[in-house]
Every structure is written in C-alpha cells, then in structure tokens.
C-alpha cells in the first residue's frame, strides 16, 4: 500500500520548454534573414554571430532551469525569449532603416543599437541565472520585506539626487554611476512588488477589517488607510518631481490591486479609484506636461507637426501596416521618433500588421496568464501575492504603453517589456521571469516525500 500511494513522477515538461525555446529562436533567425533580404543588406557576419549568441543565451537559461527549477512552468521561458528576440529583430530593423537613411542624406552612420541590446540581454541572462541560483526558495524573500521596501523607495528617489541623477527627454529617470546609466525605477518595480507582497501578507487581516459601511460596501478603518495614502503620495511625488506619468500610474495601480487581492475588500478599489481621480485631476490642472499628454490624446492632429507628431506618426505607421503589415524590412519604422524604445510597438504594427500585433498581445497575455496560474497554484500566501503582483506589473505596463502608443489612453513614457531598447527594463523584466519561474517551480513541485522508517510505517495514506 505504501508504495502505491507515492505519487507517480510529476512530468517536468523541460523538453517542451526546450523545443518551444528553439522554435522562438528559429523565428528570430528567419526574421533577421528576412530583414537582410528585404532591405538588401544581406546577412552580415555580425548578425550571424548575434543570432548565435542569442541562441546560446536562451539555451543557457534553459539549462539552469533544468538543474535549478526543474518543475517550473515550461511556457514562461520560451514566451519571454520570443518577445526579447522580437525586440532584437525590430531594433535591428530600425538600425538598418536609420543607417540607410543616414546614407541617403550622406550623414554619418548612426551607431547600431542591436549590439548594445544584445549585451543587455546577456546581462539580463546573468541576472536571471543569478536570481534562480541565489533564491532557491522564494519564501526567503519575505524575510527582507522592509529592506526591499526601502531599496525600492530609494530607487525611486535616486534620480532626483544631484550628481548621479539626470533628466533625459523631460523625465528624470536616470542615474549615472561609474559611466553606466540606468533607470532605477525598473528595479524598484520588482523590489516594491516584493515589499507589497511581504507587507500585505502580514497586514492583510487588519486591512480587511471593516469599520463603516457606506451603501452596503464596507470601508476600512481610517488608521489602516495609511499605507494606501503613502503609496498615493509616493506616486504623485514620482509624477511631480520626475515627470514620469507611466511609472506613477504603474505603482499606484499595482498597489491598489494587490491590496484588493490580499484583503478581498472591494472598498480598497473604490478608495483607490477615488484617489486616482483626485490625483489625475490635480495633475491635469497643475502640471503642463500632463495636460499636454492629455490634449495630444484627445486631438493628436491639433498639433500634428509638434507635440502630436510622435503619436500621429505612430498611427500612420499602424494604419499603413493594415491587416498583414508591410512585411519585415519594407515599412518606414524610422518615421516614428523613438521607434526602438517607447514606440517599438508602432514599428511592429507597421511591418507585421494587425496579425503581428495580435500575436504580440497574445504573447503578453500568455505570460500574464501563466503568472496568474502560478499565483493560483502556489500554496503560500506570500508566493501568491508576489506572483500576482509581478503579473500585474507586466500587464499594466503593457497596457499603459501599448494603449498610449495606439491612442487608447494618453501616452505615458514606459518601456514595452522585453521589446524596447534599453537595458534596465530588459534586465528587470527577465528578473521578473526568473522570480515567476522560481515560484512556479515551487507550485508544481510534488511534495518531496522521503520516507523515514517511522513515517513509512505510520503515514500510510498521503494527502494528495
């Protein structure tokens, strides 16, 4: 009896993961070859090397998962790899377009960005592997809840400090140290998610307490509203002092949703929405940069050659792509300013069409769905909150930036996860994937049952 009750070996699905990852890589190779063909630059040696390195990096991640998190969700790695590869392909595409334009105008050739992005991908892979190796159990993170909270806040404030902080394109997001520059907000979004999860696991019972009821909806005690107010003020602070609408929106939305999940109280959503409306109204009337964004959203053609230029060009690009796109290498992605960062989705929509856009959105949806599934499957509350928080970060960021670029909502500067050119974002998103993989490994791992002699005798029937 005892032997029969031991669960059959849980399939690890690592081979599935490997096959899907190879598939993602092959798509990238085809995309690169297509660009070379369509633009007439051909397949250059550096691009073959790039393609090889990308493949090696993906396989390296797979090998680490195989040894360190063998029960992890097999979909996360291939989807994130495919998104990163799609980003590299588009960045390469835009490099080619910029170089050809410079050549036509006999301007000096611009530095290609694809190799820098490849380097950042390598860094991201190193951090991905480090995360998986250093954090063998996600629950250990809970011990450092307040440390992460402090570091997360510090990351938000860092760009405001003299000497290290700097302002680029109107937003104070950057930190320069030792000749390197990065956006600490990208790290903050992970650190603060860990902090929120750890904090809410501990405090959720008191936060769920109902004091007063208004229209049948129970509202929390005023003294418990404190943390929400702090999150609100910090978000407004980011907006006011760093002019970063997107990050501000992301943090506040994340905190409110996690609060709701931890407490199961809809009242937090109502309070959060109320504070959002107040904050948004203040921001609209008090800050010119917010007002400009909203006005552009309302009527991009009102100032099509100046403030509305980016958005209008983005819409033109998307429209010219139509259902099936112009084909890789055959559009004009370089017409949209910041084509390889904020507006990379416009370039994808132009060259890959609605078909490509839907595929892209579904890839993100799969990623978020796997994150939420992990949250449902993992048994500890901290893991649940962390997984759901990380999924929300991804989902909100995708919605805010793609919604902005496609004029669904006002445009706020955020990078598109995995796609946009920029190291901090890429590295941070891969760390998110590493954490989700770690949690999913825990969720899917069969209970390790090492029968001691005593247990083998006493515990005949195992809980399934």
Residues that bind other proteins (CB under 8 A): 34, 37-38, 101, 103-105, 257, 260-262, 264, 301, 304-305, 312, 315-323, 327-332, 335, 349, 353-354, 357-358, 361, 364-365, 368-369, 372, 375-376, 381, 384-385, 388, 391-392, 395, 398-399, 402-403, 406-408
Nearer to other proteins, 19 or 107 (CB): 107
Q: Measured between alpha carbons, how far is 390 from 393 in angstroms, rounded to an integer?
A: 5
Nearer to other proteins, 160 or 409 (CB): 409
Q: How far is the CB of 364 from other proteins (least distance, A)?
A: 8
Q: How far is the CB of 99 from other proteins (least distance, A)?
A: 13
**Per-residue tokens: 82:** 């495919």
Give yes or no for a contact between 419 and 355, defined as CB atoms under 8 angstroms apart: no
Nearer to other proteins, 59 or 102 (CB): 102
Distance of CA 57 to the CA centre of its chain: 19
Q: How far is the CB of 68 from other proteins (least distance, A)?
A: 26
Nearer to other proteins, 174 or 399 (CB): 399
Q: How far is the CB of 269 from other proteins (least distance, A)?
A: 10
Q: How far is the CB of 335 from other proteins (least distance, A)?
A: 7
Q: Measured between alpha carbons, how far is 269 from 122 in angstroms, rounded to an integer?
A: 39
Element (DSSP H or E) covering residue 252? helix 245-263
Reference 327, options 30, 23, 83; nearest CA is 30
Q: Measured between alpha carbons, how far is 405 from 420 in angstroms, rounded to an integer?
A: 13
Nearer to other proteins, 185 or 256 (CB): 256
Q: How far is the CB of 263 from other proteins (least distance, A)?
A: 8
Q: How far is the CB of 101 from other proteins (least distance, A)?
A: 7
Give yes or no for a contact between 8 and 2, defined as CB atoms under 8 angstroms apart: no
Q: Measured between alpha carbons, how far is 90 from 334 in angstroms, rounded to an integer?
A: 11
Distance of CA 163 to the CA centre of its chain: 29
Reference 82, options 366, 456, 347, 432; nearest CA is 366
Q: In 286-319, which positions are buried (b, 16+ CB within 10 angstroms) versus exposed (e)?
A: eeeebebbebbbeebeeeeeeebbbbbbbbbbbe
Nearer to other proteins, 92 or 115 (CB): 92
Nearer to other proteins, 375 or 426 (CB): 375
């Amino acid at each position: 009896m005892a032997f029969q009750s031991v669960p059959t070996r849980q399939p690890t699905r690592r081979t599935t993961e490997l096959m899907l990852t190879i598939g993602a890589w092959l798509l990238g190779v085809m995309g690169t070859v297509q660009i070379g063909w369509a633009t007439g630059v051909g397949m250059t040696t550096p691009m073959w090397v790039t393609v090889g390195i990308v493949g090696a990096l993906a396989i390296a991640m797979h090998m680490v998962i195989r040894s360190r998190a063998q029960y992890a969700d097999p979909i996360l790695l291939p989807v994130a790899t495919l998104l990163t590869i799609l980003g590299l392909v588009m960045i390469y595409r835009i490099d080619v377009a910029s170089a050809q334009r410079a050549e036509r105008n006999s301007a000096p050739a611009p530095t290609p960005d694809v190799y820098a992005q490849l380097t950042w991908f390598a860094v991201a892979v190193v951090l991905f592997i480090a995360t998986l190796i250093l954090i063998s159990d996600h629950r250990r993170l809970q011990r450092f809840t307040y440390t992460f909270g402090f570091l997360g806040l510090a990351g938000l404030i860092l760009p405001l400090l003299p000497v290290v902080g700097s302002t680029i394109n109107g937003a104070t997001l950057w930190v320069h140290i030792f000749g390197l520059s990065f956006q600490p907000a990208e790290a903050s979004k992970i650190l603060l998610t860990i902090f929120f999860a750890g904090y809410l696991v501990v405090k959720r019972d008191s936060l769920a307490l109902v004091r007063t009821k208004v229209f049948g909806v129970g509202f929390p005690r005023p003294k418990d509203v404190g943390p929400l107010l702090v999150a609100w003020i910090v978000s407004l602070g980011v907006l006011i002092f760093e002019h970063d609408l997107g990050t501000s929106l992301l943090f506040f939305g994340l905190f409110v949703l996690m609060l709701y999940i931890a407490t199961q109280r809809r009242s937090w959503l109502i309070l959060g929405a109320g504070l959002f409306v107040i904050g948004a109204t203040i921001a609209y009337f008090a800050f010119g940069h917010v007002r400009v964004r909203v006005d552009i959203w309302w009527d991009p053609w009102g100032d099509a050659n100046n403030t509305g230029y980016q958005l209008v060009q983005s819409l033109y690009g998307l429209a010219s792509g139509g259902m099936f796109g112009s084909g890789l290498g055959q559009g004009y992605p370089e017409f949209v300013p910041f084509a390889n960062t904020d507006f990379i989705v416009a370039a994808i929509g132009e060259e890959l069409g609605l078909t490509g856009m839907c595929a892209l959105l579904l890839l993100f949806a799969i990623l978020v769905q796997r994150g939420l599934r992990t949250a449902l499957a993992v048994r500890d509350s901290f893991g649940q909150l962390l997984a759901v928080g990380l999924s929300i970060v991804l989902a909100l960021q995708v919605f805010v930036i793609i919604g902005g670029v496609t004029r669904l909502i006002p445009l706020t500067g955020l990078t598109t996860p995995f796609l946009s050119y920029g190291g901090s974002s890429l590295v941070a998103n891969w760390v998110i994937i590493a954490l989700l993989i770690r949690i999913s490994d825990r969720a899917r791992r069969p209970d390790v049952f090492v029968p001691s002699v005593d247990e083998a005798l006493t515990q005949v029937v195992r809980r399934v």
